[in-house]
Amino acid sequence: MSGRLDGRKIVFRLNDKSFLSYLRARFVLQIFDSFTAENEFNWTGFKTVVAAPIVEELVYRALIFNIYNASEGYLVFVLPLYFGFAHAHPVIAKIGTPELKTEIARAHLKLAYTTLFGAYSGWVFVRTKDAGFTNIWGAIMLHAQCNYFGLPSFHILFDRSVVLKRRVIFGFLYLLGILLFWLMYQFCI
């Protein structure tokens, strides 16, 4: 580890008294480690986890939300379509190629989950709106976390080469996550 900055020392010096601080430190360390591989900076990881969330949330939440003079419901449920369609651009590069049909199928999936995420991020933005520009950080951190973890691998539930017990466990955990998310949402309303 010579020549590398030890992020553990930096993070734990900020606040090392609570479990939440520990979890935050682990997340920061994982991001820090994903940017460096063999002493080489990973620009793709930086773009995905840092730059894209900041730029996209500033554009789609702070800027577009403030341009439209509409109800919060419109801002949360209609404007995320802009966010979703903005992530469907890889289809353009595949026009005229044999991969076009596959890319269109991917674009539909990506449109669905990015629009859903855009609605959730918009809801977080609207619900935390109390201090002007500072509320954007909740949406940015949520976006960074989503980009870091990515979309769950639902295909494992249907892959017959995976042991049934493991598929059942994954399915249970996915459903538990959805249930806990719904309960959290009910609590926050």
Handedness of CA 148, 151, 152, 156 (dihedral sign): negative
Report how far residue 45's alpha carbon sits from residue 105's, in angstroms, rounded to the nearest whole number: 25
Of the listed 56, 57, 103, 143, which one is catalytic? Answer: 56
- Nearest of 140, 175, 148 to residue 57 by alpha carbon: 140
**What residues contact 138, with CB distance under 8 A and at least 6 apart?**
124, 125, 128
Annotated active-site residue 57? The verdict is no
Annotated active-site residue 87? The verdict is yes
Of the listed 38, 40, 57, 87, which one is catalytic? Answer: 87
- Nearest of 176, 35, 185 to residue 119 by alpha carbon: 185
Q: 3: left (phi > 0), else alpha (psi -120 to 50), else beta?
A: left
Cite the active site residues: 56, 87
